[in-house]
Amino acid sequence: MAATVDTKPTRRSAGRRLADLLHGHRRAQVGLLLAGPLGWLVIAYLGSLAVLFVAAFWQLDDFSGQIVHSYSLANFETLWEGQVYREIVLRTVGVAAAVTVTDAILAFPIAFYMAKVATPRARAALTVAVLMPLWASYLVKVYAWRTILNEDGILNWALGPFGLKGPGYGIVATWLVFSYLWLPYMVLPIYAGLERIPNSLLDASGDLGGKPGTTFRRVVLPMAFPAVAAGSIFTFSLTLGDYITPQLVSSKQFIGNVVYANVGVANNLPLAAAFATVPVVVMVVYLLVARRLGAFEQL
């Protein structure tokens, strides 16, 4: 009798036994926590990226239209020698740069107003007001611009009385729409960067005789520059990889369009994979430069 009382099992669930087992074993705890997420990201994601990279060295058999898993640099040669591809890369990078500059100019006044002029209440409201369009459906926003830029659209209707006409569909339209799409990505880091500049510095510049323009050029701009670089990572990278906007508001080819067409219509995955390395390389170089400019501290 007594024996059974003694060993009266406090029956413990598997979960509790596991918890007891792990108690004090910090390494095992981290291992268990990370097993799922890392397993997923390494296998499903990094694995896929590796496959993509390898695929860039495969070939498409011209006759059968099948992908041949043999390795050569032929795809990269095709891209390097093709005048068309070089033009497309230049066009894409050029528009990405133009978009970045445009967004920086558009973002500065509102970011400065939010950081230095607005009351805390207005500041919170403005932050939400800038964030919401960022999350509104990307596709619908591009589509809205397609409607606006349309021959019978609102832009021509508004400009008509002045004898002007909108840009219509084309390279200018892609620049405009990209600038629109990525603008919030520029506003928010610049706002955060400007907020970190102490007001006393600006006042000191004024007290020492600096005109507002001088203060802006010699104090605000240099201090806010890393934040601009941080925002430019988004405006630049997002433009490089996009193919839907060029497709919807222009007939020009961007890197993304060529990649997409080769995956889908031409079924030439190897060439697409090779071309997709271009934006990745450009971005890696861009990130290295941005890091030197101190952009990462502003993210």
Partner 1 sequence: MHLSRGTRWALRAGTALTLAFLYAPLIVIAIYAFNDRRTATWPPPGFTLDWFDKAFHNQGVRDALWTSVQAGIGATLIALALGTLAAFAVARYRFFGREAVSFLVILPIALPGIVTGMAMNSTFTQVLGVDLTLFTIIVGHATFCIVVVYNNVVARLRRTSASFEEASADLGAHTWQTFWFVTFPQLRSALVAGALLAFALSFDEVIVTTFTAGDRETLPIWILSNLSRPNQLPVVNVVGVVVILLSIIPVYVAQRITSDPVTSPGAVAAGPPP
Residues 106-125 that bind partner 1 (CB under 8 A): 106-110, 112-114, 116-117
Q: Pick the closest to residue 227 from 122, 114, 132 (CA basis).
A: 114
Quick one: which of 135, 103, 94, 90 has its CA closest to 235? Answer: 103
What contacts 178, CB < 8 A, 6 or more positions away?
95, 96, 99, 235, 238, 239, 242, 245
CB of 117 to partner 1, least distance (A): 6
Q: Interface with partner 1 includes 101 (CB under 8 A)? A: no
In sequence order, the 6+-apart residues with CB closer than 8 A to the CB of 102 are 175, 179
Q: Which of 67, 219, 261, 293 binds partner 1 (CB under 8 A)?
A: 67
Show contacts with partner 1 in window 182-201 (CB under 8 A). 183-185, 187-189, 192, 199
Residue 219 in contact with partner 1, rule: CB under 8 A: no
47 contributes a contact to partner 1 by CB under 8 A: yes
**In the bound complex, what is the minimum distance in angstroms from residue 203's beta carbon to partner 1?**
6
Residue 266 touches partner 1, criterion: CB under 8 A: no
CB atoms within 10 A of CB 27: 8
Q: Does 231 bind partner 1 (CB under 8 A)?
A: yes
**Rg of the chain, C-alpha, whole Å:** 27
**Which whole-number Å values give the CA distances from 15 to 18, 22, 29, 35, in the listed order?**
5, 11, 14, 17
Least distance to partner 1, CB of residue 3, Å? 27
Write the binding mask 146 to 175 for partner 1: x where contact by CB under 8 A, - elsewhere. Answer: xxx-x-xxx--x------------------
Site for partner 1 contains 281 (CB under 8 A): no
- In the numeric block, which tokens belong to residue 157? 């209707």
Among positions 8, 11, 23, 121, the unique one binding partner 1 when judged by CB under 8 A: 23
Q: How many residues bind partner 1 (CB under 8 A)?
A: 102
Q: Are strands 67-68 and 59-60 parallel, antiparallel or unpaired?
A: antiparallel
Return the number of the residue (3 or 265) whose C-beta is nearest partner 1: 265
Which of the residues 126 through 145 are near partner 1 (CB under 8 A)? 126-141, 143-145
CB atoms within 10 A of CB 265: 8
